Amino acid sequence: MSIDIKFSLDDTDLEYFRSVMNKAQDGAGTASDKEIINKARAVLEGTKPVKPPLFVRESLERLATLIAMLEDPEWPLDGQERVDVISALAYFHNPADLIADDVPVLGLIDDAIMIELVVRELNHQLEAYDEFCAFRSSEEQLRGKDVSREEWLEAKQKQLMKRMRERLGRINRNERGSSRLTRFSFLR
């Protein structure tokens, strides 16, 4: 059995988390990208022996994705996008926890909330990276790891054509007559 517990953060709550993030970013001001990434990774490693609540686990998965975005050589994140992700991870450089991480079950909830807040801010970057990873994974399964640009484009075209045909098949399955020409529904 599972239970859904929902809560809302009002402006005062958001201001609290904003101030905590600002302090963490100030504290990480002289740290290198690598140091910040390693501190965030340490949070992930520290949670392995514990089975935190699902909400926390899902947030930690998004934290892992943020780290992967920065380290993926095939996803060269640079410029302001890189700065945004590093800024989000700066919270973990020296977090001012509302709830100490060593408190069983509840200790990572404030961290999960912070992750959720930054994930909302970085939604477009995460969606793009997730789609890139899905495409790359499907291509590696279809064609192997060493695939040329032309092969990837051809594979993407085939994927889109297949999807188009499947969608048309669903539409035409019930309407298809014996004619070799399509009967467009708006002409009926």
Nearest to 92 by CA among 70, 74, 76: 70
**Which tens digits make up the pLDDT trace of 36-90?**
999 999 888 877 767 777 888 898 999 999 999 999 988 888 888 888 888 889 8
Of 98, 100, 92, the closest CA to residue 31 belongs to 92
Rg (the chain; Cα; Å) = 23
* CA distance readout (Å), 63 to 37, 38, 84, 107, 163: 10, 12, 13, 16, 32
| Total count of residues recorded for the chain | 188
Residue reference for tokens 């048309």? 168
pLDDT of residue 175: 45
Say what the pLDDT of residue 27 is: 85
- The pLDDT value given to residue 176: 47
Reported as a pLDDT band with limits 50, 70 and 90, residue 181 is very low
* Cα(132)–Cα(144) distance, integer angstroms: 16
d(CA 56, CA 176): 50
